């Protein structure tokens, strides 16, 4: 689930291309497979490959995609396979949560100015450890349908914020709930939202 990369130290560009994809949420350190076939997104992919290999995945506010949620996940293209017909299969690995600050380009694909969502508020190591243990217990004993790879790696994840992201990505079916966790800046509140949403979906 993690490559060991230090995403916090990864330098972010001032602008990134944006793919509007309803139902998809890209959290840091999670993987998102994509199939690129529309001409505008083929151009977007080529631009990303020619520069810093980063793409933002945004949720539309409405089905027509005219407006998007102001917070998105930015991913790094880890693999890309182009086919003879011009389509591509690629895998994005989430690296950061960002706020959109402007739209310097709308055609042939969207480019957005971005601001990385800052570091969480200071928290004692004891508090972080308590949150991590609590979240692990809920995931292990809560009767949740954990993907096999997630169950195998629970004990290896030492950061409650990383575990929150991975659990939200893998377990929450409602994209609006995932988006609310993505957009929340408080680490404690993000974990509280995850636990509440998991209870709601299990009810």
Q: Examine the domain organization and report whether 146 and 104 are in the same domain.
A: no
Q: What is the pLDDT of residue 64?
A: 66
Token digits of residue 35: 């199939």
Q: Examine the domain organization and report whether 56 and 108 are in the same domain.
A: yes
Q: What is the pLDDT of residue 34?
A: 97
Q: Which residue has the tokens 């490959």?
A: 49
Condensed to tens digits (0 to 9), the pLDDT of residues 14-25 reads: 999 999 999 999
Q: Which domain range does residue 67 map to?
A: 7-116
Please tell me the total count of domains within the chain: 2
Rounded to 5°, the CA angle 167-173-175 comes to 95
pLDDT higher than 70, residue 68 = yes
**Is residue 118 classed exposed, middle or buried when 0-12, 13-18 and 19+ CB atoms within 10 A define those classes?**
exposed
Assess contact for 161 and 185: CB atoms under 8 A: no
Q: Examine the domain organization and report whether 22 and 85 are in the same domain.
A: yes
Q: Examine the domain organization and report whether 88 and 25 are in the same domain.
A: yes
Stretch 17-34: mean pLDDT: 95
Three-class DSSP labels, 101-140: EEEEECCCCEEEEEEECCCCCCCCHHHHHHHHHHHHHHHH
Cα(187)–Cα(203) distance, rounded to whole angstroms? 25
Stretch 175-194: mean pLDDT: 96
CA atoms within 13 A on the CB side of 59: 24
Q: What does the chain come to in residues?
A: 203
Last residue in a domain, options 58, 85, 116: 116
Q: What is the pLDDT of residue 195?
A: 96
Residue 2, domain member (yes or no): no
pLDDT higher than 50, residue 3 = no
Q: For the whole model, what pTM was predicted?
A: 0.90
Condensed to tens digits (0 to 9), the pLDDT of residues 93-136 reads: 999 999 999 999 999 999 999 999 977 778 899 999 999 999 99
pLDDT higher than 50, residue 200 = yes
- Report DSSP state, residue 53: -
pLDDT higher than 70, residue 1 = no
């Amino acid at each position: 689930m993690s490559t060991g990369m230090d995403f916090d130290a990864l330098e972010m560009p001032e602008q990134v291309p944006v793919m509007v994809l309803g139902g998809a949420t890209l959290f840091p350190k999670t993987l998102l497979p994509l199939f690129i076939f529309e001409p505008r997104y083929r151009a977007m992919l080529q631009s990303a490959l020619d520069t810093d290999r980063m793409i933002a995945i945004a949720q539309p506010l409405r089905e027509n995609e005219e407006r998007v949620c102001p917070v998105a996940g930015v991913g790094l293209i880890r693999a890309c396979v182009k086919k003879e017909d011009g389509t591509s299969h690629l895998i994005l690995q989430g690296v950061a949560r960002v706020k959109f600050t402007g739209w310097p380009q709308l055609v042939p694909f969207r480019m957005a100015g971005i601001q990385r969502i800052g570091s969480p508020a200071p928290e004692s190591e004891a508090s972080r450890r308590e949150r991590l243990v609590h979240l692990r217990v809920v995931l292990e004993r809560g009767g949740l349908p954990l993907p096999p790879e997630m169950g195998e790696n629970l004990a290896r994840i030492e950061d409650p914020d990383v575990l929150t992201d991975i659990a939200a990505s893998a377990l929450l079916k409602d994209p609006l709930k995932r988006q609310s966790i993505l957009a929340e800046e408080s680490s404690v509140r993000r974990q509280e939202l995850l636990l509440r949403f998991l209870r709601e979906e299990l009810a």
